[in-house]
A = this chain, B = another copy of it.
């Protein structure tokens, strides 16, 4: 194995100019983050209370009251702060920065003398610190604070929060570790691992990397830490019934050491958070066993357990993976956070090995599940993202209790909204993977960027109108000539990509899915990629039993769907014609700037009376009527109120 070095783009040096993602990012800046700040402060009367800022106030002795919320309520604040930090890289925003600074002072004031920092335990259960790692998210919350601290330091150069989280991490390093006097544990919800690695990268303090590795390697070993701590709680009469999170160790990927795990299992967000850390660690430590685990588990996930939308976690129970080839459409969980975590995992895999299959999955998740998780108004969010909605049955059949037909303003467990904000403000980290041998271009999100290449600075401007139009241009804007390799991803959905360099055709031979162009780049050099975006039919693997006889439509990276608003109700009675051509239609109104698709199909028309029986002998009770079908990009669904929706439709 040739272990690559990889760096990340400094977000101060990147401007998003993309029409689609850029607009979404603008929405996050202008609407979503201010809105979320109000929500975290409980100043939006109609939404579920958060109380998370108040929890910090109480912990800091600046207010009286009781802790309220989930055990991981602190993490919503941390993710919001991290989202703000990444935003501040791009444009200064003194008011937002002041709000963040004040929040950081509040967080600092809530820190205990020994570095401990968690409002749930400080306020509500001070005697129970570190006694229930399997359930209580203590290190998970710490991880998110650490990520925020690193981001805020990187964004502003201010060390205040970084110092707070270093003290927190140092405290954790005292409590956890291999020594006899330490706890030999790890968190039920992975996150601390990936956060400590970021902290290591920001501080170059080896001990944080060591601790991250300890948590990864300790996970799932015997005697099992969850059992040990549960037994301890039982002895102290703090636990009476073994919690299911202790019993079901696969739920938190703690059923086996990571190196022995064979399939993507358990809570999907936990899985991808864990593997994001493992992949990052494997590269930094050049640990082949960890790398093999990443390859194997990635492979199982994308070859057996991922939705066409880049969603993962096919069941509501445990927000979890099911088993190979079990991907129901209507009861899917496919949490927004899981697809965000999947992008994080893909990013770390790309840093380990620049293979476009990771970026393909990253793109699928971004343009479908993640982009669709936020409403066009920036104030409503999806938590679960099933591929089929039949509103009438959602309220009556509890297999759909996790499904909402439209995006919601907030959640009792509000992990998704700030995570979505954080993803869009840090999207620059996903566009490029700077390896020493080449600059890998993963996503065609329009931007201008400056990157160090040796002693020089490579300046690029990427433009186009992706994913609506099939041309992408990468223009070199550096004043000095720079010899380097640009590696442009050739998307898996594109069967006939073409490339031109300054007008001349370039052989599109790919190396692990990237077109490598090595040369001395000069100002004005232009790479043009032509990525023909035919609307394509997609069919499921024959073992996907929910997809037999069904077809989905994809154009570029976008998955399309039928909605009741365009096609009428009873979408299950619609068939797509076998030989139907797709025509592209410019969207209007809500869909302005978007491409819709039209195609011929038919509908089973029926005119049964109210008294018609449920079952009919000998022939189908209805007639086939031609119908012109309208498909919209799935990410833009559910912006017109409740209605039926489906991605997988009957194939003629």
A583 at the interface (CB under 8 A from B): no
State the CA gap A552–B611 with chains docked (Å).
21
CB distance from A226 to the nearest CB of B (A): 20
Nearest CB to that of A321 among chain B residues? B396
**B315 A541 Cβ-Cβ under 8 A:** no
Which residues of chain B come closer than 8 Å to A570, judged between CB atoms? 542-543, 545
State the CA gap A89–B545 with chains docked (Å).
50
**B326 A393 Cβ-Cβ under 8 A:** yes
CB distance from A535 to the nearest CB of B (A): 11
Contacts known (A323-B393, A543-B570); A537 close to B304, Cβ less than 8 A: no
State the CA gap A398–B316 with chains docked (Å).
8
State the CA gap A253–B317 with chains docked (Å).
28
CB distance from A18 to the nearest CB of B (A): 25
**B315 A539 Cβ-Cβ under 8 A:** no
Contacts known (A323-B392, A331-B399, A549-B549); A615 close to B540, Cβ less than 8 A: yes
CB distance from A107 to the nearest CB of B (A): 35
**A619 B539 Cβ-Cβ under 8 A:** yes
CB distance from A378 to the nearest CB of B (A): 31
Residues of chain A from 303 to 356 with CB closer than 8 A to chain B in the complex:
303-304, 306, 308, 314-318, 321-326, 328, 331
**B542 A317 Cβ-Cβ under 8 A:** no
State the CA gap A302–B613 with chains docked (Å).
8
**A542 B608 Cβ-Cβ under 8 A:** yes
**B541 A615 Cβ-Cβ under 8 A:** yes
Residues of chain A from 428 to 473 with CB closer than 8 A to chain B in the complex:
none
Contacts known (A548-B573, A573-B542); A315 close to B399, Cβ less than 8 A: yes
Residues of chain A from 612 to 652 with CB closer than 8 A to chain B in the complex:
612-622, 650-651
CB distance from A368 to the nearest CB of B (A): 12
CB distance from A545 to the nearest CB of B (A): 4
**A548 B604 Cβ-Cβ under 8 A:** yes
**B540 A614 Cβ-Cβ under 8 A:** yes
State the CA gap A622–B539 with chains docked (Å).
10
Which residues of chain B come closer than 8 Å to A23, judged between CB atoms? none
Number of A residues near B (Cβ < 8 Å) is: 65
**B615 A308 Cβ-Cβ under 8 A:** yes
A232 at the interface (CB under 8 A from B): no
Which residues of chain B come closer than 8 Å to A328, judged between CB atoms? 397, 399
Which residues of chain B come closer than 8 Å to A606, judged between CB atoms? 542
The contact string, 1 if C-beta is below 8 Å from chain B, for chain A 59-82, is 000000000000000000000000
Pick the most buried of A392, A493, A548: most chain B CB atoms within 10 A of its CB: A548
Which residues of chain B come closer than 8 Å to A395, judged between CB atoms? 323
Nearest CB to that of A392 among chain B residues? B323
Pick the most buried of A401, A542, A546: most chain B CB atoms within 10 A of its CB: A542
State the CA gap A546–B646 with chains docked (Å).
13
Within 8 Å by CB of A542, from B316, B393, B622, lies: B622
Which residues of chain B come closer than 8 Å to A543, judged between CB atoms? 570
Which residues of chain B come closer than 8 Å to A538, judged between CB atoms? 615-617
**A611 B326 Cβ-Cβ under 8 A:** no
CB distance from A566 to the nearest CB of B (A): 18
The contact string, 1 if C-beta is below 8 Å from chain B, for chain A 467-494, is 0000000000000000000000000010
**A322 B537 Cβ-Cβ under 8 A:** no
**B397 A315 Cβ-Cβ under 8 A:** yes
Within 8 Å by CB of A397, from B326, B393, B618, B620, lies: B326
Pick the most buried of A321, A324, A541, A650: most chain B CB atoms within 10 A of its CB: A541
State the CA gap A542–B395 with chains docked (Å).
21
Which residues of chain B come closer than 8 Å to A324, judged between CB atoms? 392
State the CA gap A540–B613 with chains docked (Å).
9
A495 at the interface (CB under 8 A from B): yes
CB distance from A19 to the nearest CB of B (A): 26
Which residues of chain B come closer than 8 Å to A390, judged between CB atoms? 545
State the CA gap A60–B650 with chains docked (Å).
63
The contact string, 1 if C-beta is below 8 Å from chain B, for chain A 366-406, is 00000000000000000000000010110111110100000
A500 at the interface (CB under 8 A from B): no
Contacts known (A399-B331, A542-B622); A548 close to B572, Cβ less than 8 A: yes
The contact string, 1 if C-beta is below 8 Å from chain B, for chain A 187-222, is 000000000000000000000000000000000000
Which residues of chain B come closer than 8 Å to A651, judged between CB atoms? 620
Residues of chain A from 539 to 559 with CB closer than 8 A to chain B in the complex:
539-546, 548-549, 552, 554
Interface residue ranges, A against B (CB under 8 Å):
302-304, 306, 308, 314-318, 321-326, 328, 331, 390, 392-393, 395-399, 401, 493, 495, 536-546, 548-549, 552, 554, 570, 572-573, 575, 604, 606, 608, 611-622, 650-651
A-B contact pairs, 14 of them (CB 8 A): A304-B614, A316-B399, A324-B392, A325-B392, A326-B392, A331-B331, A331-B399, A537-B618, A540-B614, A541-B614, A541-B615, A542-B573, A542-B608, A554-B617
Further 13 A-B residue pairs, CB within 8 A, beyond A317-B401, A542-B573, A548-B573: A303-B613, A306-B614, A314-B397, A315-B399, A317-B399, A322-B397, A326-B393, A326-B397, A536-B617, A542-B570, A545-B570, A548-B604, A552-B615
The 3 closest A-B pairs by CB, nearest first: A317-B398, A323-B396, A545-B572
